[in-house]
Structure 1
């Protein structure tokens, strides 16, 4: 693992330009926790590969974030309650989880205030949590979270969830017919869990360390949401 960290650090310490191709190739096989936050920022495009204007760009982003209104009493109350439950669930994650609920409140509050047509969902906590866990700066947490939300929103608005669930069920019946039949016989509400699995990248369903490892790969490839249904099938096959 030390050799792997060294390979990541060699790329991240480049003075002029981050080699994104090499970074993606490495990240597909997993990112060490020590550098995961920095790697994700480049993979998501939050940090530009060209480092010549890095300090200026970073200052502009931080200034922008600091000027975003974050207060939203109703949202803060709901986020705070959900974060308590989330932190209790994630207490066994490797390392020390950031116990400061203010980061969740600020980041999600800022996102909601910038996107007033978006309805709050408890799933936001689960989608934000990995960034809170592995990124030190609150503004960077915000920009990574909003970038992921933009990716999901674009895909979810383009491809109807009911159609995606129907397509997934066709694959499910073809690949694991016995399990699919069992679920139907037991009257398991397949639409309910399949919708969550497909829309939110398993943020609520996977163990925390497994989720971050999966996202290492997802953030490093061009079509993670196209791959995602097959990952879900793989999980069902494994269990």
Structure 2
């Protein structure tokens, strides 16, 4: 008998909890999309036949598109104790299962007597969110920065951290007179961008963190001359620093680094460099000349929205003459980091790291889901209001109860369209 795939299993579990979700208080996300119109409110009718290869043929769906709230219900805020804890103070942890149970599941998978961690099971479990206390290690495992073999892990970390220090000695700690014109321009641009990175978050205004970011971004740029440093890469570094620092402080975003040893900062810096490199290896053509990867993503998103919600697409592009590149380019370039709070981005990345090329492929479905969430409101807007809204989404205060249904919608879109004939090609 064939085993159920991890995605099918997650989808089945989501639908199983469907009735419970009806009783939950709607999130900001759900309130924005309470209308029955659009793709996600679609019922099976003669005017909307099932797409070939869609989940409507699935035994889990009863030939009807799952509603947006087909996702495990969050724990009500009233049930979360007000006592101080690392998980609470580090920001919203995954709430799609009881916190203690979920932590126990991760502990059973990671802290056992086996020689290696089962990465496939880790991806399946992490897709729904990673508890704060396990996230630093889980991210390193999912990015293949450290090996699943436990006995080799510490030696690999020591070697990679030493290698990073060697790179600093070779490229960074040199006289300015030894830098070429291009290297000086790169460093100058990095120094301009770092103070602008998350200016409202205390951690990223700390001189030690800003200096670490300067070194990481400069070394990455020098080691990747095909793209060099491009604005937006600085944003992608911040989740790694925040997550890895959470191993040492309860509330990393508001930390003044008191009591954190300089050696610890160096280790966080090195780990952040290598993990950023791993992430960017899959999307480097987003930052090469003319940024073809980003243009491809914008086009794929546009094609997806046109297929899912023709009325919305027609209103935006044909009636109001707004081009997707005017708003979606930044969504792709910065992976929504300018649109959502950092903790919400970290939760998104839990899932992206479990998807096949999630920072390119799955991110497109997330962006399309965001756009269609506000579809009814957008259809009432004219050009100026439409552009202003799309360039400044009302998502700055989103929390995890908003991210969970967003991921559910994105997953539905991916399941619906990824394997359908004539679908936009995957990278």
Deviations 1:109-155 (A, max 9, x none): 11112112323212011111100111142111111100001011268
1:17 paired with 2:17, answer no
1:5 paired with 2:103, answer yes
Query: Is the 8 Å Cα contact of residues 131 and 144 (structure 1) preserved in structure 2?
Result: yes
- Cα distance in 1 for residues equivalent to 2:216 and 2:354: 24
Alignment-derived partner of residue 140 in structure 1? 271
- Structure whose residues are more often helix by fraction: 1
Shift of 1:61: 0.8
Q: What is the TM-score when the length of structure 1 is the normalising length?
A: 0.85
Which has more radius of gyration?
2
1:101 is aligned, of 210, 214, 223, to 210
- Cα distance in 2 for residues equivalent to 1:156 and 1:125: 12
- Cα distance in 2 for residues equivalent to 1:162 and 1:66: 35
Deviations 1:201-234 (A, max 9, x none): 3333332222111110010122423222221111
1:178 paired with 2:311, answer yes
Query: Is the 8 Å Cα contact of residues 107 and 138 (structure 1) preserved in structure 2?
Result: yes
Deviations 1:148-202 (A, max 9, x none): 0101126888975444433322221232333333333444342133233335433
- The unaligned stretches of length 5 or more in structure 1 are none
Q: What is the TM-score when the length of structure 2 is the normalising length?
A: 0.50
- Classify the secondary structure of the residue corresponding to 1:67: helix
Alignment-derived partner of residue 30 in structure 2? none
2:221 is aligned, of 88, 103, 112, to 112
Alignment-derived partner of residue 20 in structure 2? none
- Cα distance in 2 for residues equivalent to 1:238 and 1:47: 38
Alignment-derived partner of residue 373 in structure 2? 238
The number of equivalent residue pairs is 235
- Cα distance in 1 for residues equivalent to 2:184 and 2:295: 33
| RMSD (Å), alpha carbons | 2.7
Query: Is the 8 Å Cα contact of residues 145 and 275 (structure 2) preserved in structure 1?
Result: yes
Alignment-derived partner of residue 169 in structure 1? 302
- The unaligned stretches of length 5 or more in structure 2 are 1-98, 174-182, 246-267, 375-427
Shift of 1:9: 3.1
- Cα distance in 2 for residues equivalent to 1:103 and 1:131: 12
1:48 paired with 2:147, answer yes
Question: Structure 1 residue runs of 4+, over 4 Å off?
Answer: 154-161
Alignment-derived partner of residue 70 in structure 1? 172
- Cα distance in 2 for residues equivalent to 1:160 and 1:76: 24
Query: Is the 8 Å Cα contact of residues 30 and 216 (structure 1) preserved in structure 2?
Result: yes
1:193 paired with 2:340, answer no
- Cα distance in 2 for residues equivalent to 1:162 and 1:25: 30
